[in-house]
Amino acid sequence: MAFQGKKLINDPNDVVTEYIEGLVETYPGLQYLDGFPEVKIVLRADISSASYDKVAVICGGGSGHEPAHSGFVGDGMLTAAVCGDVFASPPVDSILSGIRAVTGSKGCLLIVTNYTGDRLNFGLATEQAKSEGYNIETVIVGDDCALPPQRGLPGRRGLAGTILVNKVAGAAAAAGLSLADVAAEAKHASELVGTMGVALSVCTRPGQVTSDRLGPGKMELGLGIHGEPGAAVVDLQPVDAVLSHILKQILSKETNYVPISSGNRVVLMVNGLGSTPIMELMIAAGKAVTKLQLEHGLAVERVYTGSFMTSLDMAGFSVSIMRADQAILQRLDAQTMAPCWPIGVSGKLAPTKIPVPVPAHTTKSDEALTRPKELSVEGHILEAAIEAAAKAVIDLKDTLNELDGKVGDGDCGSTMFRGATTILEDMRSYYPLNDAAETINEIGASVRRVMGGTSGIIYDIFCKAAYANLKESSQPVTSQKWPDALEASIAAVSKYGGARAGYRTLLDALIPASAVLQERLNAGDDPCTAFLLSSEAALSGADSTQHMQAQAGRSTYVSVDILASVPDPGAMAAAAWYRAAALAVESKYKGL
C-alpha cells in the first residue's frame, strides 16, 4: 500500500506562499510582493525600483530547491527571486512583476537555470519587459556534467553552480558595474562551473506518494533536482569512491564541460540536496578537497559546504567545481547580506590543523611510563584481572548497545568497548603493573582519553577516587585495601553524579558488590572468596535494575513500560567486568 510522504505542512498547494511568509519573518532584510498566490517574489527590503542605482540581479525558477533562490536575496547577491510552484517555472506575469519591482535605471540581469519552462517563461518576460522600456540581459546557466553532450534541444541542466554565478553577478552589480559588464561576468562564471550529484533517495513532492524507484542499497549518480531519474543507478559505495567518480566526470577531458586543468585554482561547493546530515556533507567536502589537490593537481581556494540548492527532501549531495582566478575570488569573497550565503568563507585559508596544546606542567602520566620487565605476583594477578575485565566488556559490546538502544541512545556498548580496547593496548605497552595504585591511575587516564559519554566520566571519577584512596598510605597495595578503594570510588561517583542505590545506574551493580565484599571480609572469608561472592551480588544487582524506575541518565526520559523490559546497560557492564575480574583473580590464586 502506498502512503503519502510525511511532511509537516498544511495544504500542499500553499507550501510556497507559506514558506515565503516564514522566510521574510525570519530575515528582516527580505520582503515579498503582495500578489499571492500568483505572484511569489522575494525582494530586498531596503530598495525600490524608483531610486535603485545599481544593476538589479534576479534569479528564479520552480520552488522546492530552498534556500535557492530566495535565500540568496540581499545586498551583494540577488535583488529579487522569482518563485514558481514546486518544480514549476514561474509564469511570465510573475517574473514581470519582479522585474518591475526592483529594476532601476541601470537595468536588470536575469539569471536563468537551463530548463525549457524557465527559458520560455523568463524569455517571454524579458521580451515584454524590454517592450516596456526596461534594459534587460539574460544569462542561462547549464552546469550539469552528468549527461553526455548532444542531449537534444534542452541541453545541460542548471544545478547548484547557479548559486556561484548568482554570487559573482551580485557582487559585480554591487560594485557598480554596468549591465553589460555584470552580464559578461555572470556569463563567464557560468562557463567556468560544472556540477554533478549523487542521490540516496528520491524526493517527495508535498501531498504525493514517495517513489520506490530507488531500492535499498542503491544510489543514483548524475541526478536531476526535480525527482527525475539519475544518469545511472548503482550499488551504494563509500563516499570516497563516489567522489572519485563525480570529480572525474566533472573534470573529464572527453566532455570538456569545464575549462579546468591541472595547476588551476578552483572553488568547491558541496551542496546537500535536502536531507543529508551536515556530518556527511563535511566528510564529502574534506575528501573532495584532498582528491582535487592530489588526484587532479588543483589548488582549492574556497570550500562552500551546506544546503544551497536542494531537491525537497532528497538525501544526497552535488559537487560543483568552478575555476577561480583572482577576479572571481574577489566576487565570491565580497560582502553580502544574503542570509543563506555562507559567511566566513573568504580570504586566504588558515592551516587546517594545529597541534593540541599540552599542559604546562607534566603529570605522572606524561612521564615515560614503562611496563615492568618482570611482573611481581601481584602484578601478574592485576594484569589477569584487568585483561579479563576488559575482554568481558569487549564481548558485551553489541548486547549493551542493544539494551541502551531501548533505554538510552544506543551507544553504551560502543563507549565501553572504546575504553576496554584502549585499556588492553595501554596495559600491554606501559601500565606499571607492579604498582596497583599507579596502574589504576593509568586506567583512568586511558578512559579519560578515549571514552567520552556518561560512562566515560563516571569511570574517570571512579579511578581517580580509587587512586587517591590506594595512595593514602605509602605501603604496597594489599588485598585488604581494595574494598576501601571500591567504597571510596562509589562514594565519589555518587557525589559527583548524584545517583544513589536504586537510581538504575551502574552503582546498582557496584554498591551491593561493595557491601558483600566488606561483609564477607569482616566475617573472615579469604579475599578471593569474598571477591567472588561480591561479584555474584554485582550480577544480581545489575539484574534488579530491570525493576527500577530511572532517576539518573538518559533512561529518565523513557517510559516505565520500556524500562521494565530491560536492565540498565551501565549496570550490566559494571557487573560483567567486576565478575570477570573476580574469576580471573580466583583462577590466578588457584594456580599459585
Which residues are known catalytic residues? 226
Q: State in angstroms the smallest separation of the CB of 402 from ligand ATP.
A: 12
Q: Which of 65, 156, 570, 584 binds ligand ATP (CB under 6 A)?
A: 570
Kindly write out the interface string for residues 414-433 of this chain, putting x where it contacts ligand ATP by CB under 6 A and - elsewhere. -x------------------
Residue number, 125 or 575, with CB nearest to ligand ATP:
575
512 binds ligand ATP (CB under 6 A): no
CA distance 592 to 585: 11
Around Cβ 21, how many Cβ atoms within 10 Å? 13
Residue number, 301 or 508, with CB nearest to ligand ATP:
508
Sign, CA dihedral 207-209-210-213, equals: negative
Q: Which residue is nearest to ligand ATP (CB)?
A: 570
Q: Which of 392, 499, 576, 581 binds ligand ATP (CB under 6 A)?
A: 499
158 binds ligand ATP (CB under 6 A): no
Around Cβ 592, how many Cβ atoms within 10 Å? 7
Residue number, 54 or 418, with CB nearest to ligand ATP:
418
CA distances from 535 to 112, 241, 388, 466, 502 (A): 73, 50, 14, 18, 18
CA distance 320 to 547: 56
Q: Side-chain half-sphere of 554: how many Cα atoms within 13 Å?
A: 16
552 binds ligand ATP (CB under 6 A): yes
* Amino acid identity at 561: D
571 binds ligand ATP (CB under 6 A): yes
Q: Which stretch binds ligand ATP (CB under 6 A): 94-102, 180-188, 230-238, 497-505?
A: 497-505
Contact 195, 319 (CB under 8 A): yes
194 binds ligand ATP (CB under 6 A): no
Helix (H) or strand (E) holding 497: helix 481-497
Residues of this chain, 341-400, that bind ligand ATP according to CB under 6 A: none
Q: Which stretch binds ligand ATP (CB under 6 A): 119-127, 261-269, 277-285, 501-509?
A: 501-509
CA distance 497 to 490: 10
Contact 270, 281 (CB under 8 A): yes
CA distance 434 to 401: 34
Residue with cell 556530518: 279
CA distance 339 to 587: 67
Q: Which stretch binds ligand ATP (CB under 6 A): 55-63, 220-228, 319-327, 505-513?
A: 505-513
Residues of this chain, 434-473, that bind ligand ATP according to CB under 6 A: 453-455, 458
Q: Which of 409, 425, 472, 526 binds ligand ATP (CB under 6 A)?
A: 409
Residue number, 20 or 552, with CB nearest to ligand ATP:
552
Residue number, 84 or 570, with CB nearest to ligand ATP:
570
Q: State in angstroms the smallest separation of the CB of 540 from ligand ATP.
A: 16
Q: How many residues bind ligand ATP (CB under 6 A)?
A: 24
Q: Three-state SS for 153? A: coil
Q: For residue 42, list its beta bridge partners.
A: 32, 81
Q: State in angstroms the smallest separation of the CB of 570 from ligand ATP.
A: 2
Residue number, 103 or 401, with CB nearest to ligand ATP:
401
**Hey, what's the cell of 463?**
579511578
Residue number, 241 or 557, with CB nearest to ligand ATP:
557
Q: Which of 142, 497, 541, 567 binds ligand ATP (CB under 6 A)?
A: 497
Q: Which of 7, 380, 449, 554 binds ligand ATP (CB under 6 A)?
A: 554
Residue number, 70 or 415, with CB nearest to ligand ATP:
415
Q: Which stretch binds ligand ATP (CB under 6 A): 110-118, 350-358, 408-416, 462-470?
A: 408-416
Q: Which of 12, 154, 297, 498 binds ligand ATP (CB under 6 A)?
A: 498
Q: Which of 102, 242, 312, 507 binds ligand ATP (CB under 6 A)?
A: 507
Q: State in angstroms the smallest separation of the CB of 403 from ligand ATP.
A: 8
CA distance 245 to 198: 10
137 Cβ contact partners less than 8 Å away, ≥ 6 residues apart? 107, 108, 109, 110, 179, 180, 182, 183
143 binds ligand ATP (CB under 6 A): no
Binding residue numbers: 62-65, 118
Q: Which stretch binds ligand ATP (CB under 6 A): 144-152, 205-213, 365-373, 568-576?
A: 568-576
Helix axes 377-395, 397-407, angle to 10 degrees: 50
Residue with cell 582549492: 300
Q: State in angstroms the smallest separation of the CB of 410 from ligand ATP.
A: 8
Q: State in angstroms the smallest separation of the CB of 550 from ligand ATP.
A: 9
Binding residue numbers for substrate: 62-65, 118
133: left (phi over 0), alpha (psi -120 to 50) or beta: left
408 binds ligand ATP (CB under 6 A): yes
Q: What is the DSSP string of 428-444?
A: HHT--TT-HHHHHHHHH
Residue 146: name the closest of 196, 182, 187 by CA: 196
3-state secondary structure string, 113-150? ECCHHHHHHHHHHHHHHHHCCCCEEEEEECCECCCCCC
Q: What angle do CA 532, 538, 544 make, to 5 degrees?
A: 145
Q: Three-state SS for 472? A: coil
Q: Which residues bind ligand ATP (CB under 6 A)?
A: 404, 408-409, 411-412, 415, 453-455, 458, 493, 497-499, 505-507, 552-554, 568-571
